[in-house]
Chains A and B, each alone.
Chain A
Amino acid sequence: MKIIPAIDILGGKVVRLRQGDYAAKTVYSADAVKLARQFEAEGADRLHIVDLDGAKAGKPVNCELILRIRKSVFIPIQVGGGIRTVQAAKKYLKAGIDRVILGTAAIPIIRKLGAERVMAGLDLRGNKVATHGWTKTTTDYPDFARKLRALGVTEVICTDIARDGMLSQPNITPMLKLKKMGFRVIASGGVSDVTSLKKLRISGMSGAIIGKAIYEKKITVREALSAVRPASGLAKRIIPCMDIKNGRVVKGVGFKRLLDAGDPVAFGRYYSDQGADELVFLDITATVEKRKTLAELVRRVAREINIPFCVGGGIRSLADIKVLLKAGADKVSIGSAAVYDPAFVTQAARRFGSQCIVISVDPKRVGDRWLIYTRGGRTQTKIDAIAFAEEMERRGAGELLVNSLDRDGTKKGYDLELLRAIASRVRIPVIASSGAGKQKDFLEAITLGRADGVLAASLFHYGKVKISDLKRYLKSHSITIRP
């Protein structure tokens, strides 16, 4: 269940109202951007922003401030309040807001815009939907909900106005009913303590918006996350990566300078003994012969090594994948081919199973976004990296390998913002790659970047960091690690 702190904006300041009453407001902060950053740093899954001036005026008022928040954090943001025209909705979506929340004008806007990036806000007074800044009360919510369902809306926010800002308990009855109708339901209003969170989670709610309780310091974002975090024994993974050229391991710096070094199987065995959780072999040979040499290498590794390994480099057909999986690879990593032919990913996942398809995502920062690069970091595309990652998940990718081109070879640490931006938006595992310089970098990739695994190459190959030491270090910082 996602923990979604709320930031309500009135007159440019962060406030909480009681039961939607503009006269009953408390101002908590003059710096919405700082607050957003704080929530993100504490681990919030998403942010919920309401333009209260907008809700009253019937059109966005605090748009500029909201877009400034968008530029300052990397987790998903949902925005509501006065979005009553297609134009207003589009403006937010184009600027990178993940979801617009529609209430009053939900149905006419969805009819024109589609339901894909829309969430419907069902603000309830009793059994009726309230609109226009909660000043009007209209239809019974099941009827309204049915219409939304018919238009393809999948996610709704259910707020009980009577409980909003009252530090009570959430009204779970309409939420359960909406869930039964097939919606993913985000609960709002009265989410005030660990008990209410646990109850919402058990009831199968997909998210909980927490407002007043955070501002009145009844609960922190961290406590909320702890309360709903599912128990899991799954360890984070440490993955050494070997670049292979003509069947030999090469030590690489960036994608361009190369030094020849050694036997892949010997490397594999060494790292496996050190405690590596998986291995990645990336073939950077440019020739046509490469396919045969790579398959032979895979066969040798599969015979000798008993931990999982992934192989990649120039994979662009189902036949390529079949040969490598048959030779004994557990997974294959696809790079440029996924960018130029996304349908290939769908086919590969369907044919071989998602669990063996890893997509290599190579982004570089361009302005305030990341764009995808291909061909070993040499060619820029116009494709937004975050959108690409989400699309790859939709197409059936089993895992994402995120290689920051800005950090590659720099030893300045992983690109935590990039990792967080991707990890907070996909449900498949994300492996951090590129930039490791010291042990702390691995820790931060996991805690701040929210990565499921961490990959490094030269740091391990040059013996700067030993995997066994690294694992002890991570364990001492409470990361679940396989010894």
Chain B
Amino acid sequence: MIAILDYNAGNTASVANALCRLGVPHQITADPEAVARADKIIFPGVGAAGAAMKELKKRGLDRALKHARQPVLGICLGLQLLAEWSEEDDVKCLGIISGRVKRFSDDLKAPQIGWNRVGKDYFYFVHSYYLPVGPYTVGAATYGVPFSAVVRKDNFYATQFHPEKSGKAGLKILRNFCRS
């Protein structure tokens, strides 16, 4: 059973729909104990870092994530919150992965909305903040600067893009995570 974290940060339904399409059993939950029992965890996120961290803490989900030993997939804000700090709302994040989340510069349109290239594939991004490339980056894309599109550390995986909205390429990522 895959637990999709519900912490009032949007977008759980999109992920759930994608898992339905893949035929993967899942539940949307805000209960830290259900999360702890889950085989895998999906940590989605849309919105601002400050409000999201607040909601995670309120539900005890920050600790549930930090103590997670099973595979965890962070999506979009879910990637950014794994970092140490976010410039958005100047907030301390989960600190699971090193690095500070920064804002894209004024040079380009904001937010980045659309399909950008990671390796050979294109994925759908919607974001104004990014995690710079670091030791845990396994896939990068460029938007003015190179930024982390996919990160991995131990049991934690995360994508800055929305795999549930990235067509066939995105579905493949979700399938690999769910079935591995």
Q: Are B165 and A308 in contact (CB under 8 A)?
A: yes
Q: Which of A233, A234, A328 contacts B14 (CB 8 A)?
A: A328
**Closest chain A residue to B118 by CB distance?**
A233
Q: Are A326 and B167 in contact (CB under 8 A)?
A: no
B7 CB, min distance to chain A CBs, angstroms: 15
Which chain B residues lie closer than 8 Å to A70 at the CB level?
Answer: none
B22 CB, min distance to chain A CBs, angstroms: 10
Give A217-255 interface residues, CB cut-off 8 Å to B: 230-237
Q: Are B46 and A353 in contact (CB under 8 A)?
A: yes
A310 CB, min distance to chain B CBs, angstroms: 11
Whether, in the assembled complex, A18 has its beta carbon less than 8 Å from a beta carbon of chain B, the answer is no
Known A1-B107, A428-B109, A428-B110: A233·B141 in contact at CB below 8 Å: yes
Whether, in the assembled complex, A376 has its beta carbon less than 8 Å from a beta carbon of chain B, the answer is no
**Closest chain B residue to A353 by CB distance?**
B47
A352 CB, min distance to chain B CBs, angstroms: 8
CA of A372 to CA of B166 in the docked complex: distance in angstroms? 34
Known A231-B142, A232-B108: A355·B18 in contact at CB below 8 Å: no
CA of A295 to CA of B116 in the docked complex: distance in angstroms? 30
Give B108-122 interface residues, CB cut-off 8 Å to A: 108-117, 122
Whether, in the assembled complex, B85 has its beta carbon less than 8 Å from a beta carbon of chain A, the answer is no
CA of A75 to CA of B93 in the docked complex: distance in angstroms? 42
CA of A444 to CA of B61 in the docked complex: distance in angstroms? 49
Known A302-B14, A330-B14, A428-B110: A237·B115 in contact at CB below 8 Å: yes
Q: Which of B108, B126, B170 contacts A355 (CB 8 A)?
A: B126
Q: How many residues of B contact A (CB 8 A)?
A: 40
Which chain B residues lie closer than 8 Å to A354 at the CB level?
Answer: 111
Which chain B residues lie closer than 8 Å to A96 at the CB level?
Answer: none
CA of A429 to CA of B144 in the docked complex: distance in angstroms? 16
CA of A206 to CA of B105 in the docked complex: distance in angstroms? 11
A471 CB, min distance to chain B CBs, angstroms: 11
Which chain B residues lie closer than 8 Å to A155 at the CB level?
Answer: none
Q: Which of A307, A328, A483 contacts B17 (CB 8 A)?
A: A328
Whether, in the assembled complex, B1 has its beta carbon less than 8 Å from a beta carbon of chain A, the answer is no
CA of A94 to CA of B60 in the docked complex: distance in angstroms? 57
Q: Which of A235, A398, A482 contacts B111 (CB 8 A)?
A: A398
CA of A230 to CA of B145 in the docked complex: distance in angstroms? 8
Highest count of chain A CB atoms <10 Å: which of B110, B126, B170, B171? B126
Which chain A residues lie closer than 8 Å to B13 at the CB level?
Answer: 302, 326, 328
Q: Are A232 and B142 in contact (CB under 8 A)?
A: yes
Whether, in the assembled complex, A427 has its beta carbon less than 8 Å from a beta carbon of chain B, the answer is yes
Whether, in the assembled complex, A272 has its beta carbon less than 8 Å from a beta carbon of chain B, the answer is yes
Interface string of A305-335 (1 = CB under 8 A from B): 0111000000000000000011010100000
Known A302-B13, A306-B170: A232·B113 in contact at CB below 8 Å: no
Whether, in the assembled complex, B62 has its beta carbon less than 8 Å from a beta carbon of chain A, the answer is no
Which chain A residues lie closer than 8 Å to B18 at the CB level?
Answer: 306
Highest count of chain B CB atoms <10 Å: which of A206, A302, A355, A399? A355
Whether, in the assembled complex, B6 has its beta carbon less than 8 Å from a beta carbon of chain A, the answer is no
Q: Which of A272, A326, A429 contacts B113 (CB 8 A)?
A: A429
Highest count of chain B CB atoms <10 Å: which of A232, A272, A304, A453? A232
CA of A398 to CA of B124 in the docked complex: distance in angstroms? 16
Which chain B residues lie closer than 8 Å to A328 at the CB level?
Answer: 13-14, 17
Whether, in the assembled complex, A53 has its beta carbon less than 8 Å from a beta carbon of chain B, the answer is no
Q: Are A307 and B46 in contact (CB under 8 A)?
A: no
Q: Are B17 and A399 in contact (CB under 8 A)?
A: no
CA of A272 to CA of B170 in the docked complex: distance in angstroms? 13
Whether, in the assembled complex, A452 has its beta carbon less than 8 Å from a beta carbon of chain B, the answer is yes
6 A–B contact pairs at CB < 8 A? A231-B142, A302-B17, A307-B166, A308-B162, A330-B165, A398-B113
Chain B residues near A (Cβ < 8 Å)? 10, 13-14, 17-18, 20-21, 46-48, 105-117, 122, 124-126, 141-145, 162, 164-168, 170-171
Chain A residues near B (Cβ < 8 Å)? 1, 206, 230-237, 272, 277, 302-304, 306-308, 325-326, 328, 330, 353-355, 398-399, 427-429, 452-453, 482-483
